[in-house]
Amino acid sequence: MFRRFKIKLGQKEPLFLTCKNSDCNNIMMTQFRAYRAERGLWGPSLEECPRCKETHNYDQNDLHFGPNEVGYGHSESPEAE
């Protein structure tokens, strides 16, 4: 017997970067959007923080869905960090 299932991905959500300056830790929303189950390639790219004006290299491992979220480019749990 075969069953058909409809997969519902939901909406794409915005991706964020956190400033690598430990004194700043500014959370910056990017122009990128993704599904939570989706993994993509991005970077490396030099980005300047609008708050502290420091420039750092970022790639897909630095992207996340929000301030308390695991990085977009990897799948470790927050407890493992």
Give the domain range for residue 62: 13-35+42-68
- Distance of alpha carbon 29 from alpha carbon 72, whole angstroms: 13
Instruction: Examine residue 1 and state whether it is found in any structural domain, yes or no.
Output: no
Mean pLDDT of the chain: 80
On whether residue 4 sits in a domain, the answer given is: no
Q: Which residue has the higher pLDDT, 3 or 80?
A: 3
The percentage of residues in the chain with a pLDDT greater than 70, rounded to a whole number, is 83
DSSP secondary structure string, 5-48?
Answer: --------EEEEEE-S-TTT--EEEEEEEE-TT-------EEEE
75 in a structural domain: no
pLDDT score of 70: 59
Q: What is the pLDDT of residues 23-43, one digit of tens each?
A: 998 999 988 888 887 777 777
Indicate yes or no: pTM above 0.75: no
49 and 28 Cβ atoms separated by less than 8 Å = yes
Domains in the chain, number: 1
Whether 74 maps to a domain, the answer reads: no
